[in-house]
């Protein structure tokens, strides 16, 4: 069943002896309307693969230049070590996410990039993934208990091999702040005071971009955790807490204090656009994951970047950091191919993650024994922020039901950004319907 599920674009060659072509992939309920759900390909999916091959296919949503090249370094290193050929299929990041459901039920690659959290567990529970307990028997000692927990499906089997994670925080140009005499805010009140000062100086205080829908979730998550604590974030996204209660309304009411200071062009620009504005010193700070530094190709600019965690709002919420975990999974079809299992085992080794990190320095390796000798001061700060956190959240669109995150929260947050209003009763009504259907 070789069926393309969306727009195809011309691909560049992945290197001698391999092909790089574009399939379309997708995720959850967003973008699935208009794309027929395909019958899942048959085949065993147990931890012991049924056949051995000297090749495998790898689907990647890491389409930006830096992570794309980093995964090419991984596949090259794996092929050199094992003699196994990897055919890499790179798809634009948002297309990959928005059509994953159709992709997994159609003709998926054997291995593919994905995330920890509910979104991994959701597709594991649907029987669309192959467990990799055999891989974890080899690599388990390389990971912390937290990483192991994040890689475990609802059936207790292992599904994800983590590659990296990255903290979300406010990134800024040190030289601009030194020139203007700005200081890192420790509290939310200090943050709004600083933002007002930046605005008076003719700078857009907070870089913001939500054309693609998901970036604003980071702001919601942080205000929610800082007000209500990590456990409430987890329970809310799992719909163990209701969306129409005061705690949720308080999140939006608090956020309103930031709206006058966030980039007014947010709904028309991508996160990459906002990164360029930060680089040009048109904005004073930018709340995003550390992957933002992939956009800073000038070494002088990269060395000028620093960050600080989201400031305190209530004492109970200061012990959590938003640090999503990315890694590799096997499709149901991939479970039959020993080569695909071997590829995930390589990704779960220091050798594999070092190959990735040598190209993409914006993220933090998850494996014990990874080479940290080349970490920049910014890398070290990112790593320390994650290590010192008591709780690590994924992301709203990873911790929640896909349809809730994409079909409900994206339009709700974009509407809130536009006019500052939100109907929490409507959020709860839709959540009840969607979660009850599971």
Q: What is the mean pLDDT of residues 82-91?
A: 96
Question: Do 17 and 110 fall within a single domain?
Answer: yes
Question: Do 241 and 281 fall within a single domain?
Answer: yes
- Each residue's pLDDT tens digit, 240-269: 999 999 999 999 999 999 999 999 999 999
What is the model's pLDDT at position 52? 62
Q: Which helix (H) or strand (E) holds 283?
A: strand 283-289
CA 334 – CA 318 distance, rounded (Å): 41
Residue 117 has pLDDT above 60, yes or no: yes
Residue 21 has pLDDT above 50, yes or no: no
Question: Do 233 and 342 fall within a single domain?
Answer: no
Structural domain includes residue 157: yes
Q: What global pTM score does this model have? A: 0.78
Q: What is the mean pLDDT of residues 11-30?
A: 29
Highest mean pLDDT among 18-27, 116-125, 344-353, 374-383: 344-353
What is the model's pLDDT at position 34? 30
- Each residue's pLDDT tens digit, 180-189: 999 999 999 9
Count of the separate structural domains present in the chain: 2
Please give the residue that has the higher pLDDT: either 290 or 16: 290
CB-based burial of residue 281 (10 Å sphere; 0-12 exposed, 13-18 middle, 19+ buried)? middle
What is the model's pLDDT at position 388? 85
The pLDDT-based confidence of 315 (bands split at 50, 70, 90) is confident
Residue 6 has pLDDT above 80, yes or no: no
Domain boundaries, position 110: 1-163+326-369
Of the ranges 50-54, 111-115, 147-151, 302-306, which one carries the lowest mean pLDDT score?
A: 50-54
Domain at 424, CATH number: 3.40.190.10
Q: What is the mean pLDDT of residues 181-199?
A: 98
Residue 231 has pLDDT above 80, yes or no: yes
Question: Do 59 and 150 fall within a single domain?
Answer: yes
Cβ proximity of 14 and 20 under 8 Å: yes
Of the ranges 14-18, 216-220, 318-322, 418-422, which one carries the lowest mean pLDDT score?
A: 14-18
Q: Which segments within 166-257 are labelled E, that is strand?
A: 168-173, 204-207
Structural domain includes residue 184: yes
What is the model's pLDDT at position 387? 85
Residue 370 has pLDDT above 60, yes or no: yes
Q: What is the mean pLDDT of residues 231-248?
A: 96
- Using alpha carbons, select from 316, 296, 318 the residue that is nearest to residue 306: 296
- CA angle 6/8/14 to nearest 5° reads 130
Question: Do 239 and 273 fall within a single domain?
Answer: yes
Q: What is the mean pLDDT of residues 305-311?
A: 96
Mean pLDDT computed over every residue of the chain: 87
Question: Do 303 and 432 fall within a single domain?
Answer: yes
Q: Which helix (H) or strand (E) holds 113?
A: strand 111-115
Question: Do 31 and 133 fall within a single domain?
Answer: yes
What interhelical angle do 230-237 and 215-228 show, nearest 10? 130
Q: What is the mean pLDDT of residues 7-28?
A: 29
CA 399 – CA 432 distance, rounded (Å): 16
CA 129 – CA 108 distance, rounded (Å): 10
What is the model's pLDDT at position 3? 27
What is the model's pLDDT at position 145? 85
**Residue with the two structure tokens 């567990």:** 121
Structural domain includes residue 374: no
For residue 253, the SS3 value is helix
Q: What is the mean pLDDT of residues 414-429?
A: 97
């Amino acid at each position: 069943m070789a069926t393309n599920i969306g727009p195809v674009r011309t691909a560049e060659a992945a290197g001698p002896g391999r092909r790089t072509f574009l399939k379309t992939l997708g995720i959850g309920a967003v973008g699935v309307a208009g794309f027929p759900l395909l019958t899942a390909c048959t085949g065993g999916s147990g931890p012991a693969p049924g056949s051995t091959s000297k090749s495998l296919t790898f689907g990647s949503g890491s389409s930006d230049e830096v992570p794309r090249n980093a995964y090419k370094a991984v596949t090259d290193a794996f092929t050199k070590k094992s003699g196994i050929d990897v055919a890499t299929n790179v798809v634009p990041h948002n297309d990959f996410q928005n059509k994953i459901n159709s992709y997994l039920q159609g003709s998926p690659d054997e291995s593919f990039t994905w995330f920890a959290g509910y979104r991994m567990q959701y597709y594991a529970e649907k029987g669309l993934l192959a467990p990799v307990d055999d891989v974890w028997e080899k690599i388990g000692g390389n990971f912390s208990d937290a990483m192991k927990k994040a890689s475990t499906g609802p059936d207790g089997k292992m599904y994800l091999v983590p590659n990296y994670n990255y903290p979300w925080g406010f990134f800024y140009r040190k030289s601009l702040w030194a020139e203007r005499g700005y200081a890192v805010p420790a509290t939310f009140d200090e943050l709004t005071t600083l933002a007002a000062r930046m605005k008076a100086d003719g700078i857009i205080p907070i870089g913001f971009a939500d054309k693609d829908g998901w970036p604003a979730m980071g702001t919601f998550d942080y205000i929610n955790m800082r007000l209500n604590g990590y456990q409430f974030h987890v329970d809310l996204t799992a719909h163990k807490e209701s969306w129409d209660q005061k705690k949720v309304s308080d999140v939006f009411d608090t956020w309103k204090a930031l709206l006058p200071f966030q980039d007014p062009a947010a709904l028309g620009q991508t996160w990459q656009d906002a990164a360029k504005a930060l680089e040009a010193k048109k904005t004073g700070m930018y709340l995003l994951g550390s992957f933002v530094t992939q956009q800073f190709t000038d070494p002088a600019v990269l060395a000028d970047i620093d960050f600080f965690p989201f400031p305190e709002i209530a004492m109970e919420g200061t012990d959590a950091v938003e640090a999503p975990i990315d890694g590799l999974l096997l499709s149901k079809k991939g479970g039959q191919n020993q080569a695909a299992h071997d590829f995930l085992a390589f990704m779960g080794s220091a050798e594999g993650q070092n190959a990735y990190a040598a190209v993409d320095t914006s993220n933090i390796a998850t494996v014990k024994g990874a080479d940290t000798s080349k970490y920049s001061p910014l890398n070290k700060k990112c790593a320390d922020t994650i290590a010192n956190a008591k709780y690590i959240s994924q992301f709203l669109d990873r911790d929640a039901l896909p349809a809730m995150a994409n079909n409900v929260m994206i339009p709700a947050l974009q509407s809130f950004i536009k006019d500052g209003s939100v109907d929490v009763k409507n959020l709860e009504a839709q959540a009840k319907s969607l979660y009850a259907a599971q």
